[in-house]
Amino acid sequence: MNRFTRVSSWAAMIGALAAGASSVGAQQQLIEASKNPNQWVMTGRTYDLQRHSPLKQITTANVKDLHVAWSFSTGVLRGHEGNPLVVGHVMYLHSAFPNKVYALDLAKDGAPQIWQFTPEQSADAIPIACCDVVNRGLAYSAKYDRLYIELLAGDLLALDAKTGKQVFRVNNADYKKGETMTNAPLVVGDVVIAGISGGEFGVRGSVTAYSAADGKRLWRGYSTGPDNEVLITDKTLKSPYPSDQGKDLGVSTWQGDQWQRGGGTTWGWYSYDPELNLFYYGSGNPGVWNPDQRPGDNKWSMSLWARNPETGEVHWVYQMTPHDAWDYDGVNENVLFDHGGQKLLAHFDRNGFGYTLDRTTGKVIVANPYGPVNWASKIDLTTGRPVENPSKRTSAKGNTEGICPAAIGFKDQQPSSYDPDNGLFFVPTNNICMDYEGVEVKYSAGQPYVGAIVRMFPGPGGNRGAVIAWDPIKGKIVWKDNENLAAYGGTLNTAGGIVFYGTMEGWLKAVDAKTGKLLWKFKTPSGIIGNPMTYVGPDGRQYVAILSGIGGWAGIGVAAGIGAEDPTAGLGALGAFGDAGSYSTQGGVLTVFALDKAPAK
Amino acid sequence: MRWSSVPIVVLVAGLTVSSFPPRLHAQADTTTNEVSLSALPAVDAWRTIHALRVCGDPDNMPFSDSLRQGFEDKIADVIAKALGDSVTYVWWPHRRGFVRSTLSARTCDVVMGLPTGYDPVLETKPYYRSTYYAVSREDRHIMISSLNDPALRTLQIGVSLIGEDYTNTPPSEALSARGIVKNVHGYSSFYDPENNPNDIMNAVISGTVDVALVWGPTAGYYAKLSSVPLRLTALPDSDSTGIPFAYDVALGVRHSDREFRDKLNEILEQQHDEIQQILHEFNVPMLPITPH
């Protein structure tokens, strides 16, 4: 294929995309758009969140020649999670608070701006956000040619993708109550689904659907409370596990009215299965009361969910960590994949276990540790519950030392990727453990108290992270690349046989998907907590793009200017990552790489 | 010492804050961006600025509010007068990140009320001591002098919520250590137009709860304003579970500002009577300060 025909087919594809609006269903349209490997129209490239690209111009043989094609500063110096989208010849990029949105013209030299939009937002939301003022990215609707973003201060914003003009802005969360928004929304057909952050302030977690057309609220499903508010109905599957069976468990597994401030926030990545018409996500930690004060399972915090996107109805829900005492939010991504005719999903939880579930029923097939877990010996596959090590349960009554993983988990928000060709997951991980220590005098809003302090430190081996290749059927690590700091950004795998990932020092690395062998690396301006993505530009070349800009929970010290002198700051993260500032300083730059020319076919 | 490199911390934090100046409730007094960081000496900011720059919560009566009606605001006036300075404020809600965003960012120089032993700051000598109180309506004739009282297993109890780090106020922790959880109701200290500092006291007045366990200054102040007589019973200094209920309260400055701290100690001593008078006017129930 020469360059001319490549460009023509590109133009034809864009035309088809525009023309298709009336003839094809909104949902089908987006699915078709996501199938085109040249673009990247949703956060995980496809609804299954596999972050796998069929592109193979860049291979294990030529990746060594990759170099910077262009770069772009977002103008914001805080943690940059997520990745841009590419639709046709336009790249759409978001920033950390104040959540700027840019449209960049990939057809022009140096990708100049087509438009930019800076939403007005109250800066009062900044100190409320727990772990830096990150944003995990945009969602695109092909039918409406619109972009959607969740703003930190609580509004869902819709922009016209052509002009960057605001189409609507609706409120979903109230920062005055401690509610903020950081996750990438999910567009399914005519519905946009938004999540919520702020579990530590007694927020009641929920997912909420809005009309993609006009922002009208369609439904809200809470994480706690009676079944009719959680949207558990007669049609919800009966759980295979006795402790997840019964009516109104979102009330009865709490004391009194505690569920009203029960947490279970929903700030992770959302996947979707068009055949089953179900979307998948996880809920966070139980809220506001300490573990001794809320005996019970505290449902449905720390759970994996399958819901119908049009009605919000729960198809199944499975609680991974009942009665959490470690802050192991269950929000990490659920990556959908098929194996041996089975429809599965994999989830690498903060609690240190890598789960493989039947995504039609919510039944756990595999649950093995993907790091040196010690708070539980295993997940009992007959009950679905962890078999706990009582000496590692935290309590207000005393110190608990050497808990692995730390609250930040062996993996936090940084999304894994899946290679459907060889059946492996590539999982960016943290190797961090913690001490949870009894008494330190603290003060909050007019009240002195004695609180626990969390100290995080490197886990066994001393490296603070690793990227692992994981077999989701055997539940085993295939290879492992240790990292000095955490691998706190996502991974991308390509048909070229490469896994790309970033490090908190700022390296973008390319490793051999088969062996983990390092093939190429480049030092970007700041630490990386974003996700690599790839696309083919109008010139026919394959590009790889990565946001750098240290921050997030792991990098909060550098992003917010907290020194290593206080190891318990940043919810304990400074103890583990206090030296992150010696490798890079704050940033907010997209760096885009390419080969000199597209290799001949 | 954990904070040995404070000046470095402070400079980086200061830059962060000035990129996003806080716009909290009241702005009139904010001095956030008026002083260039490089112009500041490492210590003794108060000497060159000629203003007592207070880091305060804009919405937390009886301690402070943006109209400067709290007892901490009145005490700040007394101290500023003794220094021969005026008072300016940086307002920031007193929750996670407060010290980092205010005192450590060098946008203000003193926090008016913090428990002694609070690590992020260098403390003065304490100027009052209080404890948590059991609050009930007089007409209910509830006598609670210890959390071991069996009545607490059946009464409806109100406690303040903190929620950070999976921790709550000392009496609510002490209740859960006794397995008392079902009949305990939480009142948010994440204050907003719908959650006010006096909600927990109003719950006692309206009968939503039978008894509330409330930090002394809040209990005393709102009891004085109450339309019905309330009974306040001090909980002991510390609980049989080992959890302390009573705390000494001091001013807090940056660890590097030792000279300023010493000056404040002098003033606290000189102005002792006037400060005590203010605490009495606000009906702050006090215990004798622990000898140091």
- In tens, the pLDDT along A548-585 reads 999 998 888 888 877 666 677 777 788 888 888 889 89
Instruction: Identify from A395, A450, A453, A571 which residue to disrupt to test chain B contact, counting B C-beta atoms within 10 A and taking the largest count.
Output: A450
In a domain? residue A388:
yes
Which residue in the set B8, B160, B168 is minimally distant from A290, CB to CB?
A: B168
From chain A, the residues in CB contact with B117 under 8 A are 440-441
The confidence score (pLDDT) of residue A557 equals 84
Which position has the higher pLDDT, B189 or A110?
Answer: A110
- pLDDT given at position B12: 28
* Chain A: closest CA distance from residue B288 (Å): 17
Over residues A458-504, the pLDDT tens digits come to: 999 999 999 999 999 999 999 999 999 999 999 999 999 999 999 99
Q: What is the mean pLDDT of residues A438-466?
A: 87
Which among A356-360, A554-558, B88-92 has the top mean pLDDT?
A: A356-360
Tell me the per-residue pLDDT of A11-68, one tens digit each, with 9 for 90 and over: 445 444 444 444 357 788 899 999 999 999 999 999 999 999 999 999 999 999 999 9
- Model pTM? 0.89
Give which of B111, B162, B166 to mutate to test A binding, by max A Cβ within 10 Å: B166
Question: How much is the pLDDT for A12?
Answer: 47
| Domain contains A599 | no
- Taking residues A432-456, what's their average pLDDT? 84
Mean pLDDT taken over chain A: 92
Q: What percent of chain B has pLDDT over 90?
A: 63
- Cβ <8 Å between A327 and B166: yes
Closest to A272 measured CA to CA, from A115, A19, A48: A48
The minimal CB distance from B162 to the residues A123, A449, A559 is found for: A449
The answer to whether A592 and A547 are in contact (CB under 8 A) is no
Measured between CA atoms, the residue of chain B closest to residue A179 is: B190
Predicted confidence at residue B154, as pLDDT, reads 95
The count of CB pairs under 8 A between chains A and B is: 197
A347 contacts A304 by C-beta, under 8 angstroms: yes
Helix B71-83 / helix B272-281 crossing angle, nearest 10 deg: 160
Q: What is the DSSP string of A115-134?
A: EEE-----GGGGGG-BTBS-
- Position of tokens 């999976």? B166
Beta carbons of B170 and A450 less than 8 Å apart = yes
What mean pLDDT, rounded, does chain B reach? 83
**Residue A52 in domain:** yes
The pLDDT of residue B46 is 56
Range of the domain at A72: 3-594
Q: Measure CB to CB from residue B181 to each of A124, A255, A327 and give the nearest one.
A: A255
Chain B CB contacts of A562 below 8 Å: 9, 13, 100
∠ Cα A415 A416 A422 (to 5°): 160
Q: What is the pLDDT of residues A87-131, one digit of tens each?
A: 999 999 999 999 999 999 999 999 999 999 999 998 888 878 777
Q: Is residue A463 part of a domain?
A: yes
Q: Are A126 and A133 in contact (CB under 8 A)?
A: yes
User: CA of B245: which chain A residue's CA is closest?
Assistant: A449
Which residue type does A287 have? G
pLDDT above 80 for A9: no
How sure is the predictor about A298, in pLDDT bands with cuts at 50, 70 and 90? very high
pLDDT digits (tens, 9 = 90+) for B245-280: 999 999 999 999 999 999 999 999 999 999 999 999
Nearest CA in chain A to B131: A448
Q: Which of residues 93-152 of A touch B (CB under 8 A)?
A: 97, 122-124, 126-127, 130
**Residue A441 belongs to some domain of the structure:** yes
**pLDDT of B102 strictly over 50:** yes
pLDDT (mean) for A152-168? 98
* Contact check, Cβ <8 Å, A261/B195: no
The pLDDT confidence band at residue A363, using thresholds 50, 70 and 90, is very high
Nearest Cα to A224, choosing from A264, A279, A179, A266?
A: A264
Of B9, B16, B183, which is closest to A256 when you measure between CB atoms?
B183
Answer with the residue of higher pLDDT: A601 or A222.
A222
In a domain, A442, yes or no: yes
Q: Is residue A601 part of a domain?
A: no
Beta strand A191-194 with A186-188 is: antiparallel
**Upper half-sphere CA count for residue B203 (Cβ side, 13 Å):** 25
Looking at the domain assignment, is residue A600 inside a domain?
Answer: no
The CATH number linked to A454 is 2.140.10.10
pLDDT over 70 percentage in chain A: 95
- The count of structural domains within chain A is 1
Of B117, B181, B188, the CB nearest to A441: B117
Rounded to the nearest angstrom, the minimum Cα separation between A44 and chain B is 31
Complex ipTM tops 0.90: no
Q: At residue B11, does pLDDT exceed 60?
A: no
* Percentage with pLDDT > 90 across chain A: 79
Tell me which residues of A are annotated as active site. Answer: 327
- Picking from B66, B165, B210, B240 by the largest number of A CB atoms within 10 A of its own CB, the best residue to mutate is B165
Q: CB-based contact (8 Å) between A440 and chain B? A: yes
User: What residues of chain A, 291 to 350, have a C-beta less than 8 Å from chain B?
Assistant: 291-295, 325, 327
Which of A342-346, A425-429, A435-439, A539-543 has the least mean pLDDT? Answer: A435-439
